[in-house]
């Protein structure tokens, strides 16, 4: 983390929670943020679509940010079961994830589709959290840097800036497994992402754009991951469903 970049701690609730659970967790987290005298981090909650409205109501005025987990690339139309970026913005979302590995796997989202969805997010005034990461097979084949460089190049939308885009590096093999890369490995990928952003967006945007780490981030490993020079926060799945764990991670920001 570099002082110029404010850490972002993002909770991806995935397909978890009924209204009562979501409201209770959001209310608890809003209370914790209010108790922070001068929080040194931003916090984002990405509940499932069904909970966005109630979570939004629970966190209103708290300073917590609200986001969707996915959106369609088109603004409206005959796309049964999908929601547009503008619909998320209309519900009070300021962020949306694009290209989470579970979307890439479960829904076959390609880099081109992720780019289109992230572009739609920017057009709707949302900040896109563009997710990339190598699989276990790609890691074992020594392709980690190549895969992440390609995914970034092909998924980053036109018009991306440090103000409207966040990158999340999430090694697929680390998501939900309890496994994490070594600190050296994590920093190597984050530094590669920063260097690619430098070439694509120029030094100022690259220096200010936040790059999150995601994949089994927990209270026990958050401090060392968040202290890495090019890690500017975390995208947290499992541990974001527990207020104590999620808040302990947020408070681990340097």
Which residues in 169-188 contact ligand PEP (CB under 6 A)?
A: 170, 175-176
Enumerate the β-bridge partners of residue 16. none
Query: With CB under 6 A as the contact rule, which of the stretches 116-124, 132-140, 201-209, 232-240 interacts with ligand PEP?
Result: 232-240
CB of 6 to ligand PEP, least distance (A): 20
The first and second tokens of residue 243, run together, are 């207020």
**Nearer CB in complex with ligand PEP: 211/236:** 236
Q: Which of 219, 212, 217 is CA-nearest to residue 248?
A: 219
- 84 three-class SS: strand
Please count the CA atoms within 13 angstroms of the CA of 191 that sit on its side-chain side: 8
Q: State the burial class of residue 13 (Cβ atoms within 10 Å of its Cβ: 0-12, 13-18, 19+).
A: buried
What's the CA gap between 189 and 193, in Å, rounded?
A: 6
Q: Does the active-site annotation cover 146?
A: no
Q: What kind and span of H or E run contains 129?
A: strand 127-132
Give, as ranges, the residues between 57 and 96 that touch ligand PEP (CB under 6 A).
none
Please report, as residue ranges, which positions from 206 to 225 form the binding site for ligand PEP (by CB under 6 A).
214-217
* Min CB(75)–ligand PEP separation in Å: 26
Q: Which stretch binds ligand PEP (CB under 6 A): 50-58, 66-74, 115-123, 235-243?
A: 235-243
Which residue in the list 100, 102, 190, 196 is annotated as catalytic? 100
By the rule CB under 6 A, 237 interacts with ligand PEP: yes
Looking only at residues 4 through 63 of this chain, which bind ligand PEP when binding is defined by CB under 6 A?
12
- Provide the minimum distance between the beta carbon of 38 and ligand PEP in the complex, in angstroms, as a whole number: 27
Mark whether 154 is an active-site residue: no
Of 235, 249, 250, 253, the one binding ligand PEP by CB under 6 A: 235
| Helical residues (DSSP H) of the chain, grouped into ranges | 19-35, 52-59, 85-90, 101-106, 111-123, 136-140, 144-155, 183-201, 203-208, 219-226, 243-250
Give the footprint of ligand PEP on this chain (CB under 6 A): 12, 170, 175-176, 214-217, 235-239
Residues noted as catalytic:
100, 170
């Amino acid at each position: 983390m570099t002082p110029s970049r404010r850490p972002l701690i993002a909770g991806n609730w995935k397909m978890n929670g009924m209204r009562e659970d979501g409201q209770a967790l959001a209310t608890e987290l809003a209370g914790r943020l209010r108790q922070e005298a001068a929080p040194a981090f931003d916090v984002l909650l990405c509940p499932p679509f069904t909970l966005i409205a109630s979570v939004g109501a629970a966190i209103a005025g708290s300073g917590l940010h609200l986001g969707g987990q996915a959106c369609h690339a088109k603004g409206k139309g005959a796309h049964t079961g999908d929601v547009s970026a503008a619909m998320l913005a209309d519900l009070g979302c300021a962020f949306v994830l694009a290209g989470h590995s579970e979307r890439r796997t479960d829904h076959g989202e390609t880099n081109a589709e992720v780019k289109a969805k992230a572009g739609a997010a920017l057009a709707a005034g949302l900040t896109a959290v563009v997710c990339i990461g190598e699989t276990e097979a790609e890691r074992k084949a020594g392709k980690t840097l190549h895969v992440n460089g390609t995914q970034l190049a092909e998924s980053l939308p036109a018009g991306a800036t440090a103000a409207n885009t966040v990158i999340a590096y999430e090694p697929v093999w680390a998501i939900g497994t309890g496994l994490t890369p070594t600190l050296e490995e994590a920093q190597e990928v984050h530094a590669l992402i920063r260097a690619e952003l430098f070439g694509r967006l120029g030094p100022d945007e690259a220096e200010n754009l936040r790059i999150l780490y995601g994949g089994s981030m927990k209270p026990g490993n958050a401090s060392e991951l968040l202290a890495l020079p090019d890690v500017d926060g975390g995208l947290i799945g499992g541990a974001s469903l527990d207020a104590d764990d999620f808040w302990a991670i947020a408070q681990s920001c340097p």
